[in-house]
Amino acid sequence: MNRTSTPVDAPAPGVWEELVTTALLGTERRTLPGGAPGREAPVALLDAAAVETVRRRAGLRPARAAARPEPVAEDNRPALPAAA
């Protein structure tokens, strides 16, 4: 069976930064490149952020678990009164 792989388009450099900037400024002040302003702009921003998140995470391998934190020291403060 002959399988050919189709290359996936790599995201343009700075795509994540553009999404973050648009989210911080708001879609009324700044629209996504190629996007139109209006009621659907926030939905388009969230969709684009979801796609970019999946692209960024797709090639990652699971990392080793971090060391467990040390147990906290016992709290010797008096209990709160019933009114609290």
Beta-carbon contacts of 31 under 8 Å, excluding residues fewer than 6 positions away, are 22, 37, 41
CB 48 within 8 A of CB 19: yes
Check whether 1 has a pLDDT greater than 80. no
pTM of the entire structure? Answer: 0.55
CA terminus-to-terminus distance, the chain: 73
Between residues 35 and 74, the one the model is more confident about: 74
Instruction: Write the pLDDT tens digit of every residue in 31-45.
Output: 887 777 888 899 999
